[in-house]
Structure 1
Amino acid sequence: MLRQRVITALVLVALLLGALSVDSAWPFAALTLLLMAAGGWEWGRLNQAGAGLSVLMGAAVAAGGAVAWLAGWKEGAPALLWAFALLLWGAGGAVALRSGPAAWPQLPRAARWVLGLAALWLAWLALAGAHGVGINFMLSALCLVWMADVAAYFGGRAFGRRKLAPSISPGKSWEGVWSGWLGVAVLAAFWIWLDGRVGFDGPSLFSRLFDRWGVVGLLAALWLLAGLSVVGDLVESLVKRAAGAKDSSRLLPGHGGVLDRVDALLPVLPAVMALVALGSLA
């Protein structure tokens, strides 16, 4: 299992680095859209769409991304999209988590399909937009999510006492959430320090937040983003538990499926672009 995880991770990193090394933006956009389309296929399978319809749902994510790209939304998507994404994850995520896994299958299947595909499409569009702002900006947003996850895991194992959502993900604790936020704060401080000493292609997300809103605003934004990463993780866990599935698929040997790897990114990336629109961070 460990060998599979390492090999899969190395292949994905090589593909992403190769796409990022090209001057044109389309290889990275195409590669990430392909991954999100695979997530659309997984979402259909987890929500009773059937084999053929699940494939069509993945194709719909890819087609939606292509249309948005041709419409020029990579350079500037309507701010209302990011407001919709925040509403979708803020209000919708809270309702879903409060209701629990048993309530999820009671929603009409069409509604579940649309919600998932919209989340994947918005996340891809936000990722493409972040890439357009700058590689340093985009990588700092991605690393924020990864740090929140890693710090929450180790903090939860070391200090976890109070369960966060036992009916959805029994291993998660409130101590893990706080550890994740602390890890993100440490990462932000380091990255801001690094921005002042290394000639990147532009400021990171952390430096832009700090320059625009100061320490208090930076910490508040980090708390929001780290919290949303937990919501994304829990919502995907809820959907899998409702479907009786351990992983979203077996597309990524040793890692499960695409949704298992991008779940926390789905709400965070649009929120990052909402902060860009709100604070003129770009």
Structure 2
Amino acid sequence: MLKQRVITAIVLLAVLLGTLLAPGPWPLVALFTLAAACALWEWLRLTWPRPGGAFPAVLAIVAAAGLLALARQWLAPEPGAWALDLRSLLNRWLMPAVALAWVAGATAMVVRGQAARKAHGAWLSAFGVLAVVAVWAALVQLFLMHGAWFLVSLLALIWFADIAAYFTGKALGRHKLAPRVSPGKTWEGAFGGLLAAAAWVMATAWWPGSFGAVLSGRWPWWGVLAVAIFLAALSIVGDLFESLLKRRAGVKDSSQLLPGHGGVYDRIDALLPVAPIALLLSGVPL
């Protein structure tokens, strides 16, 4: 299992690196779209009130086609008016609404930890559609505005938070963070993750083109620190929220698309709440 997990991780990193270094934006946009479609399919399989049907797959395919059509316009030399209007609508309304849902709604569900409840499946499915569209739109726009290094430095915030939380929790963990949702996570691990993410963002604030540098151009140093801690905390919420959905559905992984890693949603659960808010905080075209 470990060998399979390592091989899959290497392949995923190679694919991501290849698309980031490609001469044009389409390879990365296509990767984002494929990941969004897979994650949406997996999310709906966990929440859709009537499990086992074809609706999650059909909706994921339709969503992917729509996102590709929108990306074609955004990447065109002269985008259509409807595409620009839709971008404005997404940035003015969808991003703040999804951000609020993550900060207030998802966090409240994780804190309550009602893993045995299976109510509100339709609402959670609707939220899944909006959350996946928002993360796709945020990632595409962040890449087009700031480039590959910005995107990597933002992803590294999540990676540092996750890795540091794991090792700090293993070494020092005593107090359970959300025992009814994810018994392995501890408060000590979470604090370790927050510190590591904050250190990464502050250290890269002097590196031109990074997420930290863009933030430092808009916020004082203490604001950059607060944003880093806030986003790292939200990455933990995203992880715990998916754990809650899986416990409600009675499954270990969102799917088996990625050998040794589960599903695509399992790999990007922490990114879903972070990317839209990172777009809002780093400057968003309206």
TM-score (structure 2 length as normaliser): 0.88
**Residue 65 (structure 2) aligns with:** 63
Q: Which amino acid aligns with 1:113?
A: S
SS in 1 for 2:219: helix
Corresponding residue for 1:241? 247
Note closer, same or farther for the CA distance 1:46–1:75 as it changes in structure 2 (3 Å cut): closer
| Counterpart position of 2:130 | 118
Identity %, equivalent residues: 44
Equivalent residues of 2:115, 2:181 under 8 A apart = no
The answer as to 2:225 corresponding to 1:219 is yes
Using the TM superposition, name which of 39-48 and 117-126 deviates more.
Answer: 39-48
Partner of 1:159 in structure 2? 172
Contact 2:197 2:232 in 1 (8 A): yes
- For residue 55 of structure 1, what is the amino acid of its counterpart? A
Q: For residue 62 of structure 1, what is the amino acid of its counterpart?
A: A
SS in 2 for 1:23: coil
Residues 56-90 of structure 1, C-alpha deviations (whole Å, 9 max, x = no match)? 13213313422442325898652322211211101
Matched with 1:184 is 197
Unaligned runs of 5+ in 1: 196-201
Count of paired positions: 271
Shift of the 188–21 alpha-carbon distance from structure 1 to 2, 3 Å rule, reads same
State the superposition RMSD in angstroms: 2.0
Q: Which residue does the alignment assign to 2:237?
A: 231
Any conservation in 1 of the 2:98–2:134 contact (CA below 8 Å)?
yes
The answer for the alignment partner of 2:142 in structure 1 is 130
CA 1:73–1:230: 2 relative to 1, 3 Å:
farther
CA distance in 1, matches of 2:234, 2:18: 29
1:131-154 per-residue CA deviation (whole Å, 9 max, x = no partner) reads 112111111111101111011111
Moved more, 142-151 or 98-107: 98-107
Q: Determine if the alignment matches structure 1 residue 262 to structure 2 residue 268.
A: yes
Q: Which amino acid aligns with 2:119?
A: Q
Counterpart-to-counterpart distance in 2, 1:210 and 1:142: 17
Distance 1:204 1:242 in 2: 38
Q: Cα offset for 1:216?
A: 0.7
Residue of structure 2 equivalent to 1:142: 155
SS in 2 for 1:172: strand
TM-score by length of 1: 0.89
Provide the rounded CA distance (Å) in 2 between the counterparts of 1:243 and 1:56. 20
Gaps of 5+ in 2: 74-82
Question: How far is the alpha carbon of 1:36 from its aligned partner?
Answer: 1.3
Equivalent-residue separation in structure 2 for 1:259 and 1:61 (angstroms)? 16
Q: Distance in 2 between matches of 1:50 and 1:44?
A: 10
Task: Report Cα offsets for 1:83-105 as digits up to 9, x if no partner.
Answer: 11211101111232233234651
Match of 1:173 among 177, 186, 206: 186
CA contact (8 A) 1:61 1:120 kept: no
